[in-house]
Structure 1
Amino acid sequence: MPPHLTSGSAVMPPVADPRLLATVLDHLTDAIIVTDAQLRITAVMGAAERMYGWSRAEMVGRYLSGDFTLQFPDHDGAMFAAQIAAGGRARANARAVRKDGVWVDVDIQMTPLLDDAGVVTGWVSVARDASPMVTAARQLRIREAQLRGYFDSPGVGVVIVAPDATYEDANEAFCAMLGYTRAELASRTWRQLTYVDDLEPEQALLDQLLAGTRDSFQVDKRYERKDGRLIWALTSVSCVRLPDGAVEHLVGIVIDISARRQADEQLRSALYDNELLVVELRQALHRVKTLTGLLPICMHCKRIRDDEGYWARIEEYISAHTDALFSHGICPECLNVHYLQRRQK
C-alpha cells in the first residue's frame, strides 16, 4: 500500500519488506480484502481464501458488493450500506455464502482508505468467522427460552430473591399462590410472607447458604397469603454465586402442598381414632369375659340356668363365659363326708 494513503484517520507506516507483510497477513485468522473506491477487489490476504472458498485469482477483479452475497439480520444491512455510502467505517454481523454454497457467519468491518485530500480511494474489508460466537449465542437463546419455560411453569412457583431477602422476580404461579402481583411482591421480603413460627428454622438454613457452608436447602413452610390465609409449601432454595463465592441471588422453587398436609392430618386423625377404637374393643371384649349381674342357680344341685334356659353345671357355665379354667379336686370336708364316714360304716 503506498505510504501516502491513510486508513480512516491513521497514517499507514511504510513497510520495509512487503513480502514480510504479506507473509504475516496470510497467517491471520481474519479474512482481509482490499478494494478500490468502487469496491472492486484488488488484493486478498489472510484467511479470505479459507473463509470464502475462492482462490485469490478468482476473487481479484470481482466486485465485493455485487459478486459476493451477504445477508444482514434485521435493519443492519441498510445501516451498513448507508455508512459505506457516507464514506465512514461500517461494521455488522452478516452471513456470507461460500463458493460451495455453504453459509458462514461473519463479523465484517469496512474501513475507507483516504488520500491526502480525504477522498476515499479504496476500502479494506476485514471479516472474522463468527460461527462459534453465533452458535454460542443461539444456544444461549435456546437455554434462556428453556429457563423461561421453566420459570413460567403453571404448576410450580419460581422466585428470584436478592441476598437481602427482597423479591427480584416471581412467576405467575407464585403470584397466584399468594395472591400478590409482581409489583406488590417487589416491595416485600420473604420474611414478611413467611409465617412467624417458621422464620427461625429457615433463617438458620439461609445463614448457612450465605456463609457458603451449603449451596441449597429444602423446607416445608407456611406462607401468609394476601388475604391472610396460610398455605403450606415445599420450598427448595439454591443460590447463584459470583466468582468470589458471594451470593448473587437466590432461586426458590415453591410447590403448594396444602392439600397434602391436610390429607396427612386427616390420616393421622383417622389413625388416632382407630387406636381409640381398638382400645374400646379390647375393653368391651374384657367386659364380655367378666360375669356381672344375677345368676340363676339351683339351691340344691348348684346348676346355673343359661340364656337359653338350659341348666348347666357351674364349672361348665363359668368356663363358657369367662377365661377361667377348672381342675377338679376335693376339699377336706367333702373328703370326710363322702369317703371317710362311708368307710367307718
Structure 2
Amino acid sequence: MSKKPSYEALEKKVAELEESQLFFENLLDMLPELVSYIDRNHLFKFGNKSYQQFFNINPESITGLHPREILGDEAFQKVEPHHIAALSGQEQEYESTINLPNGMPLYFHAHYLPHKVNGQVNGFLAVIIDITRLKQNEEKLRNNEKRFNLSAESGEIGLWELDLIGHTAWRSLKHDQIFGYEALLSEWTYEMFLEHVITEDRPMVDQKLGKALGERCTWDFECRIKRKDGAIRWIWARGNSEKDEKQQPIKMLGTIQDITERRQIEMERENILNSLQKAFEEIKTLKGIIPICAECKKIRDDKGYWNQLESYIQKHSGASFSHGMCPECSDKLYGDHDWYKDMKKKKGCE
C-alpha cells in the first residue's frame, strides 16, 4: 500500500508550483512582445505587462476579458478569423495593422500556437510583435525610391544594377526605353547591352569595364548604340561597384542617359570652330600702316619691293580678285569712241 503524501509535502509542492508560475510570469513580463493566453471560451487567461503599454490596461485586470473588450470592435474584426482558426487547432501566423486606443496605428506580426490536451484544444498562446517602426521605415524607403525614380525619370535618366555573379540586371523603365523598348524586357544582361553598342565602340566600353573592376574605380563612358528601331543614339553611362567582405566586386550600380542632342550640338560647335580656325589660318593679317604710292597705288612690301595692290592683298590674305571697270574709268578710256556712245544711249545713260 503506497504511502499518502503528508499535508506538509502537498503544501510544499503547491508553493513550488506557485513560485515557478510566478517566475514564468515575471519572465514573460520582461519581454517587449505582447504575450497572452486565450482559452477555449475566447477569454484571456493571462496577458503580460506589454498590454499595459499598448492598450493601457493592467495585466491583472485582463484575466476573464474578451479580446473585443480590449481591442474594440473594428480591430477585433480584423483578428477574429485568426482567433477562430487557432481555437479550431490551426496554427496562425500573419501580419496586420490596427488602431490603438490612443489612435496611433499598430503594425504587428502575430503567431498563435494552439494548446491541445488529449486532442482537445484548450486555448492558444498568442505572441504579438510590434513591427510599426519596421513598416514605417519600409514606407520611407518606398517613398524615397518613388521620389528618386521620379527625379531620375524627370531628368531622362535610366537606373541599372548589374549582378556580376549571376550575370543578370535590374533596370528602371527609362533604361529600357533609351534602348528603344516601350516596356521592361523580361531579362537583360551585359551581353545584351553590348549587342546594342556600335561595333566600333565595343572594345572601348569593355576595356573601361575591366579597368573599373580591376582598379575599383568608376565605370564612366560615352558610346553609340543602335536602338531596337535601328536609330543610332549616343549614351552616357556611369557606374560604381559594390564589393563583398573580401573586397571583390559583386555588383555594379549606375545611371544611363541619352545624350544624342548634346553630342550633335557639340559636333556642330566643333565644325564651326574648325571653319573659323581654317578661315583664320587663310587670312594673313593686314594691319598697321601700309606704304602705298600716291600715284600708281603700288604697295611696298617688307622687303622693299613695290607690288600691285591686287598682288599684295592676295599674297597676304588669300583673297582672289575679279577685274572690272568703274563708270568713270570707262568714260575716260572709251568716251570718244562711237560704239561706246551708242552702248550708253541704249542703256539710257545719256
Superposition TM-score tier, normalisation by shorter sequence: 0.5 to 0.7
Question: What code does the residue aligned with 1:115 have?
Answer: V
Query: Which gives a bigger RCO, structure 1 or 2 (Cα 8 Å, sep 6+)?
Result: 1
Kindly indicate whether residue 55 of structure 2 is the aligned counterpart of residue 52 of structure 1. Answer: yes
CA offset at residue 254 of structure 1? 2.0
Contact 2:40 2:87 in 1 (8 A): no
Q: Distance in 2 between matches of 1:171 and 1:44?
A: 48
Q: How many residues get paired? A: 285
- Tell me what 1:125 maps to: 126
Question: What code does the residue aligned with 1:261 have?
Answer: R
Q: Taking structure 1 as the reference length, what is the TM-score of the superposition?
A: 0.67
- Tell me what 1:209 maps to: 212
Secondary structure of the residue that 2:112 maps to in structure 1?
A: strand
- Tell me what 2:137 maps to: 136
Q: Distance in 1 between matches of 2:40 and 2:59?
A: 19
Q: Distance in 2 between matches of 1:229 and 1:90?
A: 57
CA offset at residue 83 of structure 1? 1.8
Structure 2 unaligned spans of 5+ = 1-16, 305-350
Q: Distance in 2 between matches of 1:276 and 1:168?
A: 48
CA offset at residue 107 of structure 1? 2.0
Query: What are the within-5 Å matches in structure 2 for residues 179-258 of structure 1?
Result: 179-180=180-181, 182-183=184-185, 186=188, 188-211=191-214, 213-258=215-260
More helix by share: 2
CA offset at residue 214 of structure 1? 1.8
Contact 1:165 1:191 in 2 (8 A): no
Task: Indicate the larger mover: 14-23 or 271-280.
Answer: 14-23
Distance 1:324 1:17, change over 3 A: closer
Question: What code does the residue aligned with 1:205 have?
Answer: K
Contact 1:205 1:217 in 2 (8 A): yes
- Tell me what 2:45 maps to: 42
Distance 1:89 1:279, change over 3 A: closer
Contact 1:224 1:231 in 2 (8 A): yes
Secondary structure of the residue that 1:17 maps to in structure 2?
A: helix
Q: Deviations over 1:308-344 (max 9, x none)?
A: xxxxxxxxxx7xx446799xxxxxxxxxxxxxxxxxx
Distance 1:84 1:207, change over 3 A: same
Task: Indicate the larger mover: 156-165 or 232-241.
Answer: 156-165
Q: Distance in 2 between matches of 1:59 and 1:175?
A: 58
- Tell me what 2:164 maps to: 163
The percentage of counterpart residues that share the same residue type is 14
Tell me how large the CA RMSD over aligned residues is.
3.8
Contact 2:87 2:124 in 1 (8 A): no
Secondary structure of the residue that 1:282 maps to in structure 2?
A: coil
- Tell me what 1:274 maps to: 276
Contact 1:71 1:77 in 2 (8 A): no
Kindly indicate whether residue 295 of structure 2 is the aligned counterpart of residue 305 of structure 1. Answer: yes
Secondary structure of the residue that 1:220 maps to in structure 2?
A: strand
CA offset at residue 55 of structure 1? 0.8
CA offset at residue 247 of structure 1? 3.6
Q: Distance in 1 between matches of 2:277 and 2:141?
A: 59
Q: Taking structure 2 as the reference length, what is the TM-score of the superposition?
A: 0.66
Q: Distance in 2 between matches of 1:242 and 1:36?
A: 50
Q: Deviations over 1:144-197 (max 9, x none)?
A: 434544565572233443438966344444444333464497375222222233
Structure 1 unaligned spans of 5+ = 1-13, 296-303, 308-317, 327-345
Q: Distance in 2 between matches of 1:80 and 1:131?
A: 20
Secondary structure of the residue that 2:233 maps to in structure 1?
A: strand
Q: Distance in 2 between matches of 1:103 and 1:51?
A: 11
Query: What are the within-5 Å matches in structure 2 for residues 84-95 of structure 1?
Result: 84-95=86-97
CA offset at residue 233 of structure 1? 1.9
CA offset at residue 120 of structure 1? 2.1
Contact 1:95 1:104 in 2 (8 A): yes
Picking from 257, 261, 264, the partner of 2:263 is 261
Q: Distance in 1 between matches of 2:219 and 2:24?
A: 61
Q: Distance in 2 between matches of 1:209 and 1:322?
A: 64
